[in-house]
Amino acid sequence: MPGRIAPIAFLLAAVAAFATHGCGKSRQDEHAQQIAAGVRTEFLHAWNNYERYAWGHDALRPLSKTAHDWYGQSLLMTPVDALDTLILMHLDAEAAKARSLIVSNLSFDRDI
């Protein structure tokens, strides 16, 4: 067993080294930063409109600006799906609000 640990540790170190190779450059690239800022802006546009027109429901119907629940009762599909993105984009206030909604309202104890 100990004989297997060294090769595995070496492989993990090699994967980690190659996986991060080149990542620093893309974060400093001006074009990449512009694209990232655009993605963030569009995400916030969608999220803010979900909050405004469909908060507490599964989804927003963007053309009619109305809420939609897929199963008659909300399973909070949009906030559950978006929470990790909010966290990764460092949108802390929005993530906290979504987390609070999920914790206080999401229940799978339903017969749908």
Which residues of the chain are modeled with pLDDT < 50?
Answer: none
Q: What is the DSSP letter of 64?
A: T
Alpha-carbon separation of residue 30 from 24, 27, 35, 75 (angstroms): 12, 8, 9, 39
Tell me what pLDDT residue 112 has. Answer: 77
Tell me what pLDDT residue 20 has. Answer: 55
Tell me what pLDDT residue 24 has. Answer: 53
Tell me what pLDDT residue 5 has. Answer: 65
The pLDDT tens digits of the residues spanning 41-67 come to 999 999 999 999 999 999 999 999 999
Q: Answer yes or no: are the C-beta atoms of 45 and 63 closer than 8 Å.
A: no
Q: pTM of whole model > 0.85?
A: no
Token pair 């190779």 is found at: 21
Tell me what pLDDT residue 70 has. Answer: 93
Closest CA to 69 of 42, 106, 109: 106
